[in-house]
């Protein structure tokens, strides 16, 4: 009897009760009584910050689907004006910068728009991440995939608009060699095969972008920064004699001394390696040294390549001609 009674009770739980005429449906056992008065009601959509939602989306930048990565970049791009001064910017750039070497073109274009949006609002955020940007710039310029290699200089040009001084100070000589290798003008121990995509059948559009990046590097690295002044800023020119005595406005101004870094020592060719590293740091820091290194190691080889492009004409010829004029201006003697 007991067993059959329990079975009947279980069956009644799944049976729909028939309503009688004039009677209301019985209330559920888990109903909540709302007959109370509250002074305030907190609605989630009324909150001004949605950092938690955006923080959860960071992992989508590593999603296997390219469409998801692209749409996530678009969401962050639209949210930049609102989150530019929040704690989410550092992890956002940490997850977004590796997309420089992404296989999908739309994802790389979305990242480029995101960087431009951040630079237009607050370029100092990009300055703090320059060392990571430089790492992935060199990785893209020596990448095995031709599409990624061809698009690498677009990111360099974009970042040069907002933090050119920091890029020149940290890795001007290394980036110069990488750009030349992408053009197929490998010199001074750079990867000769990295520029094979541009050797014979050049894509004129990509070659023009590479030449524009080369122009930016030469101008920012070998030209006196006090001479690169817009017409609107001509009246704001500072006294050159006071600048050396002011507090540096750049992060880690003495980082090239490597006081707090450890380096692995190699037994073979240690003296030559130390000489190259010291030359690289000096060439990045000092204007006169950069000009000297460029004149002795790069000038003649670049001018030979520019002469060929000028003869070919077209958009690449115009860009090559502008670089040639800049070199004549800088190294007229």
pLDDT tens-digit series, residues 257-291: 767 666 656 555 444 444 445 555 556 777 888 88
pLDDT tens-digit series, residues 41-70: 666 655 555 566 888 889 999 999 999 999
**The two three-digit tokens of residue 295, written as one number:** 């004149």
- In this structure, of 155-164, 228-237, 260-269, the range with the lowest mean pLDDT score is 228-237
- In this structure, of 185-194, 237-246, 303-312, the range with the lowest mean pLDDT score is 185-194
The band of 213, judged by pLDDT with boundaries at 50, 70 and 90, is very high
Q: At what angle do helices 314-330 and 204-222 cross, to 10 degrees?
A: 10
The band of 152, judged by pLDDT with boundaries at 50, 70 and 90, is very high
Residue by residue, DSSP assigns 224-254 as: -TTT---STTGGGPPPTTTGGGSPP-SSSTT
The Cα 310–Cα 290 span in angstroms is: 26
Q: Which residues contact 195 (CB under 8 A, 6 or more apart)?
A: 180, 181, 182, 183, 184, 185, 186
pLDDT tens-digit series, residues 117-146: 999 999 999 998 999 999 999 999 999 999
Confirm if 133 and 112 have CB atoms less than 8 A apart: no
The Cα 228–Cα 225 span in angstroms is: 5
pLDDT tens-digit series, residues 71-113: 999 999 999 999 999 889 999 999 999 999 999 999 999 999 9
The Cα 196–Cα 173 span in angstroms is: 21
- In this structure, of 10-19, 221-230, 241-250, the range with the lowest mean pLDDT score is 241-250
Domain boundaries of the chain, sorted by first residue: 164-190+203-225+277-332
- In this structure, of 12-26, 118-132, 193-207, 293-307, the range with the lowest mean pLDDT score is 193-207
């Amino acid at each position: 009897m007991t067993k059959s009674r329990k079975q009947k009770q279980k069956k009644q739980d799944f049976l729909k009760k028939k309503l009688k005429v004039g009677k209301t449906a019985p209330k559920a056992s888990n109903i909540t009584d709302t007959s109370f008065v509250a002074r305030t009601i907190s609605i989630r959509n009324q909150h001004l910050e949605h950092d938690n939602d955006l923080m959860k989306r960071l992992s989508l930048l590593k999603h296997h689907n390219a469409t998801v990565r692209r749409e996530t970049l678009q969401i962050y791009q639209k949210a930049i004006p609102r989150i530019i001064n929040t704690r989410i910017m550092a992890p956002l750039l940490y997850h977004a910068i590796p997309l420089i070497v992404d296989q999908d073109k739309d994802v790389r274009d979305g990242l480029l728009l995101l960087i431009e949006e951040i630079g237009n609002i607050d370029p100092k955020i990009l300055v703090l991440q320059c060392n990571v940007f430089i790492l992935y710039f060199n990785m893209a310029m020596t990448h095995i995939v031709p599409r990624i290699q061809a698009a690498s200089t677009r990111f360099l040009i974009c970042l040069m608009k907002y933090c050119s001084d920091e890029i020149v100070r940290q890795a001007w000589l290394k980036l110069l060699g990488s750009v030349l290798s992408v053009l197929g003008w490998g010199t001074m121990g750079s990867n000769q095969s990295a520029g094979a995509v541009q050797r014979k059948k050049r894509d004129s559009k990509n070659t023009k972008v590479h030449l524009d990046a080369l122009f930016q590097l030469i101008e920012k690295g070998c030209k006196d920064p006090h001479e690169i002044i817009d017409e609107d800023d001509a009246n704001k020119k500072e006294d050159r004699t006071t600048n050396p005595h002011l507090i540096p406005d750049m992060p880690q101004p003495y980082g090239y001394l490597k006081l707090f870094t450890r380096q692995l020592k190699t037994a073979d060719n240690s003296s030559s390696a130390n000489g190259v590293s010291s030359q690289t740091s000096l060439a990045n820091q000092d204007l006169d040294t950069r000009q000297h290194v460029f004149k002795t190691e790069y000038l003649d080889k670049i001018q030979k390549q520019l002469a060929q492009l000028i003869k070919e004409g077209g958009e690449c010829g115009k860009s090559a001609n502008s670089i040639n004029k800049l070199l004549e201006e800088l190294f007229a003697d």
